[in-house]
Structure 1
Amino acid sequence: MTAVAADRITAAAQAFSAAEQLAADFAQGAAARDRGRILPHQEVERLAASGLLAITVPAEYGGADLPPSAVAEVVRILATADPNIAQIPHSHFVYLNLVRLAGSEQQRQRYFAQVLDGGRIANAQSERGGATVADIATTVRPVGNQFRIDGRKFYCTGSLFANLLAVLTKLDDPQGRGGLAAGEYIAYLPADSPGVRIIDDWNGVGQRTTGSGTVTFDEVLVERDQLIHRSAAVHAPTGYGAFAQLLHAAIDAGIARGALTAATEFVRTTSRPWFESGVANAVDDPLLIQRFGELSVTVTAAEATLTAAGVAVDAATGAASEHAEGLAGRASLAVAAAKVLADNAANEVSSALFEVSGTRSAAADLNLHHFWRNARTHTLHDPIRWKYQHLGRALLHGTAPPLHGVI
C-alpha cells in the first residue's frame, strides 16, 4: 500500500471543513458499501490526501498539532456519514500519539514525516485464546542484531488500507541479549514486510468495511529503532487512554447523529401518518414530534458530553508533571461519561429509526439497519458497565481511574 500525496492542514477550522466535505461525499455510498461489503479504498485514499490524518503531528515536525478535541470532532463528523471510514483511522491517531509520547527523536522524525506524506497506520493489537483481551502471546525476540516477531492478531482495523502496522508484542528475551527493558513493545513495520500476511476475513454483523481482519507474523525481522516501549505512554498519566477512548465515543456520537438525520429525512419524505393521528402528514403526528424531541435530546446530550470530554483531554495532554496525574484522571472520567452517553445514544437512536419511520423503513434494499448494526458492533469495543464502575468508585472512594490505556 503506497502513500498518497497529502495536503497540509494548519488549523482546526480547515480540518472541520475538509471533514464535512468528505462526509457529504462518503454519505452517498455508505449504505451501498455496507450492503455489498465494498471496501472503501478510494475513500480512505481521499481521507489521507486531504491531510486530515496528519493533524496531530506536532508543530515542530511540520504538522498542525491540533488538540484531541479537534480530532474527536473530525472523527464525529466522518462517523455521521460512514462510521466504518471514521473507525479506520482510530488506531492511526492512537499510535501516532504513542510515537509522540514514547518514541525517540529519530522515530518521531521518521514516522511523523511519513504521515505528513500521506502514510497510514493500522493496529495489530488484539488476540484470541488468552484468559482476557489483555493477554499478549505475540513475541518479539532478539535474533543477531535484529529482532523477530511471531504471532497472530485479530480485529486489525484498517490493516487492509495501511502502509504501517503498529504491532503489540511482548518481549521474549530472558537472557537480556537484545538490551531491551522487559515489557510490551509496539513494533512499527511496513505492511508489506516479509513474513506479514494480512487476511481479509472480518465478518462482523456491523462495521463491515473497516478492514478489521486477521494479520499473521511469521519470522518478521525488525530493527531496534522500529520498537517503542509502550509503558511511558500507557502506564503514566499522559492521557493516552483517554484520547483513544475519546475517539471511540466520537464514532458512537456520530452514528447517533447520522441515524437521527436519516430518520428525520425518511419521515419527512416517505412515512405515512398513523390513521388515528388525524393528520395528513407524518411530520405533524404529535406523538412522532414528541419522540423526535426525545431523540434530539439524547443525541445533543451525547455530543455535548463529548465536547466537554474533549476539553478535559486537551488539558491533560502535555500537562506539567505536577498537574499531570490529576488532569489525566479527570480526563479519563470525563471520557468515561461521554462514552456511556454516546454508546446509549448510538444504540437507542439507530433502533428508534424504525420505530419512528414505520414499516417501509425496514425494506432490505434501503439498508437503514446499517446504523444499528454499526452501533451495536462498534459499542462492543469497551463495555460501558466498567465506565460506570470507574465513575462510581471515583465518587464514593476517591479512587483514580487505572492507567491501562482503556479508560
Structure 2
Amino acid sequence: MSAPRSNTTDFRRLFLEGIPMMDVRAPIEFNKGAFPNSINAPIMNDIERAKVGTCYKQKGHEEAVKLGHQLVRGKVREERTQGWIDFATNNPEGYLYCFRGGERSHLAQAWLKEAGIEYPLVTGGYKAMRTWLIEYLEESIAACHFVILGGKTGTGKTRLLHKFPEHIDLEGIANHRGSSFGRRVGGQPSQIDFENNLAIQFLRFREQGLNSFLLEDESKLIGRCSLPQTLKDKMEQAPILLLEEDLETRVQITFEEYIDQNLKDNIALHGEELGFETFAQDLIASLGRISKRLGGLRHQELLDIMERALSDQRERGDSSLHREWIRILLNDYYDPMYEYQLGNKQGRIVARGNQHELAEQFAASGALTKLTVL
C-alpha cells in the first residue's frame, strides 16, 4: 500500500500540470474567484456560511464552530462527504483547499479519513495560491517582451493572432471580442478568474522557454475584464504590426463573427427558437450601448436596418441585410475613432499589411522575437 501523499505548497506544479483541486469554500467565495483546474464542493453552502459568520461576530470562534457542526451533520454531512469521496476517487493525484488552508480544509480531510481516504490539502489554501499567481503575473509582465497586433475593427486580428505560436489571446481569456458588440455566449469570467487564467497562460508559455508574445491591441477594459495596469502600460510602448484590410473584407469578417458565429453559439446553447431570440436581443442591446455616441438619428437609422435584417433572417433565412448596418457602423463610427487613436501610435508601427502579408513575414520566421527588442 502506498504511503499517503503530503500536503503541498508546489503552486507552480499545480497550475502548470492542471492538477485537479477540490475547493471546499462556499459557492459565493468560489464564484468570486477560483482556478481553472478546480471544482466547488463546499463544506457549507452560502446560507450556512452566513449564519456561522454572524455567530462568529456576535459570540466568537468557539460558538461559531459549534454552529457549523450543527448545520452540517447527519444526511447533509453524509452527502457532502460522499461528494468529496467521489472526487478523491476520480482524482487520486488531486488536492483540496479552503480559503487559508485552515479549519475547513482540515475538517474535510478528517471526514475523508473517517471514510478511509487520506487526501492532501494545499497549504495556505486559496489565498496563498492567488497571491502566488498575482506575483507571478507581475513578474512575467516585467520580464517578457510584447508586440502588438493593431488594426481597424473587422480586420480579423484574432484570426491572425492565432497563426503565431507565441501569442496570448486576451479576448479569449476574457471571453469577449472587445467591442460594444463583443459579448460571447457563456458570459465573462470574474476579474479574479481573468487574472488567474492570464497568469497561468504566461506560466505555461514561459515554461516552454518563450518570453516574447504577440498581443492584440486592446483597451484597458475587455468587456468588464480589466487588464493589469502594468500590462496596459507596457503594451502602449510596444512595437505594432498594423493589419490592414479593405472595407468589404472587414464587413464580411464582421458578419461571419458577429452574425453567423454568434447565432450558431446561441442556438447551440439555447435551441433554435430561444437561441435566435437571444441573439437578436443581444444585437439590439449592443447597438443601444453606443446610442449616445451615435446620436439619436443615426442610432434610429441603424436600428431600423438591424430590425429589418433580423426579420428577414427569422422569416426567410436571409441574413444579407446585416451587412448594410455593419458597413455603415464600421465606416462612420469605428473607423474615425481608430484613425484618431492611430495618430498617437505612428512611431511604433514596424510593419503593415493584410492577413497574408503579415503572416508570411512574421508568423513562421522568428522575426517577431527580433521586433521585441526594438
TM-score range, shorter chain: under 0.3
Instruction: Output the TM-score relative to the length of structure 1.
Output: 0.21
Instruction: Output the TM-score relative to the length of structure 2.
Output: 0.23
